[in-house]
Structure 1
Amino acid sequence: MTRADNKLAADRYDTLYSEFRWQVPASFNIAEACCARWAKDPSRVAIFHEDDAGHTGTLSYAELQIEANRLSNVLRALGVSRGDRIAIILPQRPETAIAHIACYQLGAVAMPMSILFGPDALEYRLQNSEAIVALVDQAGMQNLGEVRHACANLRHIIAIDCNDSDALDWHAALSGASADFQPVATRAIDPAVLIYTSGTTGAPKGALIPHSAIIGNLTGFVASQNWFPREGDVFWSPADWAWTGGLMDALLPSLYFGKPIVGYRGRFSADTAFYLLEKYGVTNTFLFPTALKMMMKAHPAPREKYALKLRAIMSAGEAVGDAVFNWCKSALGVIPNEMFGQTEMNYIVGNSAQQWPAKPGSMGRPYPGHRVAVIDDDGHVVKTGETGEVAVNRHDIHGHPDPVFFIEYWKNPEATRNKFTGDWCRTGDLALVDQDGYLWYQGRADDMFKAAGYRIGPSEIENCLVKHPYVINAAVVPKPDAERGNIVKAFVVLTPGALRSKEADDALIAELQAHVRGKLAPYEYPKEIEFIDELPMTTTGKVQRRILRLIEQEKAQNGR
């Protein structure tokens, strides 16, 4: 990137925002938009892939289409039809993209799930979704095997590089299938993806997302990536393709524009990040603030060691902060564009430093096509500078439907209704709007929080802790942390029979942490546990997590 390329342009926000119009066709399918139309060019690269053992490869759009056709035929032969849910428990590998394209063109619903999910997390989602087929590799096979017997609707498992007599072998199944497939016709509003999102109360909710949502994401993606695509653009992000951030902010939009994306199977580290950025000539990326902090500390002056081609960085999940913002600007030569969104309506607010000035620490402005406001409990827009809940209207400023929205929460009409106040869809996040129209994050309206970029719902962790024989009750809250934004902290009430001493407490804390880590995802286990005689409760018996959060915030402010 040249210095001229990265200079701040004049503020073009008002023009871009006011002149934008949605163009959503009645008939639309993600598979056609993200693969089929590019597959005619055999030289066009879809995915560069590599793992931590050094194995590398390239998948073209033509190869992606052929393999997706084979998988669609395999799934159809297994009885999969329009609307059926297909679990995709895979990391960043070519088969993940193949699975998504195969599901979409079959009219099925792709249900991505992280390979980090433990047995309990997998079991709930598989049971609730009534998924009939699961696609998995060795990273998720053991945990899936533990719960398969409890998932009555799960008829088939297709396994990649796994020696399992009860599963179909991916390679064998696809090699015997036809490479020709006639895609089903879908409407833009038909369901395409089911992603479960953690909440503060009750079980995780499945957000059912239509094909049109990818279109709704595009204005934010293009803007935050400094007007993607350009000639020679290559995308990479460590964000898991099983999450909205990896799927809708990285994989699918890169494929939508016919550009290559790098898929890496392995643990994130600062050295690995710079290695991949340099090796593949990555121009565009999505990096959590936590990742950027690790990279900044490991390599304060990265361009002295690495030949980088970065021209755009999007960051989300927590505030970037001045230190990281200034490091990106000076050390990488790129002003990071912060973004805000959620699974139900993604990529709605953010920055585009080459089109309008970025304010460090601000969430940014509503992206073109999205009517965003800060509202009170009754759904009224609050005054400038006042705190309220961030909400998105079903219609843009021209009165046209915004295609970014989810359809509903799966089998949960009450939660779907509660998500809306009139035409306003509530995010659950608090913010204020300044005189220039920039939003500033003020915290969660409920008890959900972000830790190291992951969205944490306390209920699932608390339920897991209470399953331990020595735990009577538990409350999970965020503890402020300079590195991760927050860490997961649990306040735990023990049974009278639990032995108490310094050594016993330390041992039990380690046991509880391992208990949660083994049942849920590793990022959900409480990094800190404090034993407490009783939890603060309301008169109706609800845990007052707010009190515990305030305690932790006060401790952080006092340096304790």
Structure 2
Amino acid sequence: MPWETIRKDTPPSVPPNLDDYEKARAAFSWAGARTKLSGLPGGRGLNIGYEAVDRHAESDHGSAVALRCIGRDDSVTTVTYGQLARSSAQFANVLCALGLGRGDRVVTLLGRCPELYTVVLGTLKNTSVLCPLFSAFGPDPVEQRLRISNARALVTTAALYRKKVADRRALLSELEYVLIIGEGADELPGTVSYEALMAGAADTFTIPPTSPADMALLHFTSGTTGTPKRSY
């Protein structure tokens, strides 16, 4: 596809959301920020997955592009808000079917691909806890974080699983499910195909009541000078 050059001295075609930082900072309040959120239907609280996708899909933005992913071969995949709402609902149903719910840790070991966003948002919709891992980590850092996080599920690819997890799977007693995106699950004992689970899942999901105080994300420090520390 033809590339478009974006020049810094060209006025934006769409006004920026933040055009005066100092003015916005002076006027900011948490109460004001709360008014910009829709909240779950029926007053069931706040959920990041709903705020990021579903409320837009339910409006007249359902056909608007939410993600535009450019592959290494320059191929372009677009995902609309409506599509992302449905796929993330499917993944939330996948987690429910596996018995994962509120507070259970779901770890991703992926590059930036469309499925990553489906998993992230579906995990948040399910009120489970998302723990993203850097795909360039070696086996030791991956094992440490899977163990410390008490991960029950891991979503990754066959290549990353073989290189970084397979040899240490026996050491991860709490890791019950490994979902493989793409081909390879049939060749890897103890794993299941992400696509197969998604194909059997409904694309609608009722998000449970969610409190702003509920844990949603689990990140780790680099661990450069010692054992990586958790950050909620």
Q: Under a length normalisation based on structure 2, what TM-score does the superposition of the two structures give? A: 0.80
Task: Identify the structure with the greater strand proportion.
Answer: 1
Contact 2:158 2:185 in 1 (8 A): no
* 1:370-449 equivalent positions in 2, closer than 5 A: none
Where is the helix percentage greater, Structure 1 or Structure 2? 2
Who is 2:153 aligned against?
133
Of 154, 164, 169, which residue of structure 1 is paired with 2:175? Answer: 154
From 19, 28, 51, give the equivalent of 1:20. 28
Deviation at 1:19, TM superposition (A): 2.5
- Give the RMSD, CA atoms, in angstroms: 2.1
Where structure 1 has 5 or more consecutive residues not aligned to the other structure, the ranges are 7-11, 209-560
- Does residue 49 in structure 1 map to residue 69 in structure 2? yes
Q: Within 2, Cα distance between the matches of 1:4 and 1:175?
A: 45
**Structure 1 4/110 Cα, relative in aligned 2: closer, same or farther at 3 Å?**
closer
Letter in 2 for 1:37: R
State the match for 1:114 in structure 2: 134
* Residue deviations 1:215-260 (CA, integer Å, cap 9, x gap): xxxxxxxxxxxxxxxxxxxxxxxxxxxxxxxxxxxxxxxxxxxxxx
Q: Report if aligned partners of 1:122, 1:147 keep a CA contact under 8 Å in 2.
A: no
Matched residue, 2:15: none
Question: Which residue does 2:229 correspond to in 1?
Answer: 205
Q: Which of 98, 106, 110 is equivalent to 1:90?
A: 110
Distance across 1 between alignment mates of 2:77 and 2:165: 27
Kindly indicate whether residue 100 of structure 2 is the aligned counterpart of residue 80 of structure 1.
Answer: yes
Task: Tell me by how many angstroms 1:163 deviates.
Answer: 1.2
- How many Å separate the matches in 1 of 2:146 and 2:22? 45
Question: CA contact under 8 A between 1:115 and 1:139: conserved in structure 2?
Answer: no
Relative distance call for 1:155 and 1:14 in structure 2 (3 A) is closer
Per-residue CA distance 1:442-482 (angstroms, 9 max, x = gap)? xxxxxxxxxxxxxxxxxxxxxxxxxxxxxxxxxxxxxxxxx
In 2, the alpha carbon distance for the partners of 1:129 and 1:77 equals 21
* 1:199 CA displacement: 4.6
Give the partner amino acid of 2:207: P
**Identical columns (%):** 28
CA drift of 1:185 comes to 1.5
Q: Check conservation: 1:106, 1:183, Cα contact below 8 A.
A: yes
Distance 1:124 1:21, change over 3 A: same
Partners of 1:73 and 1:91 lie apart in 2 by: 23
> Hey, what's the Cα distance between the residues in 2 that align with 1:148 and 1:86?
16
Q: Which runs of 5+ in 2 are unaligned?
A: 1-6, 13-19, 40-44
Instruction: List per-residue Cα deviations over 1:316-360 (Å, max 9, x = no partner).
Output: xxxxxxxxxxxxxxxxxxxxxxxxxxxxxxxxxxxxxxxxxxxxx
Aligned equivalents of 1:15, 1:125: Cα separation in 2: 41
SS class of match (2:131) = strand
Local SS of the residue matching 1:191: coil
Count of aligned pairs between the two proteins? 203
Q: Map residues 241-280 of structure 1 onto 2, 5 A cutoff.
A: none
One-letter amino acid of the structure 2 residue matched with residue 135 of structure 1: V
Does 2:194 align with 1:186? no
Determine if contact 1:42/1:62 at 8 Å carries over to the other structure: yes
Q: CA deviation at 1:33?
A: 1.0
Q: Are the equivalent residues in 1 in contact too, given 2:90–2:198 (CA < 8 A)? A: yes
User: In the alignment, is the contact (CA less than 8 A) between 2:86 and 2:204 conserved in 1?
Assistant: yes
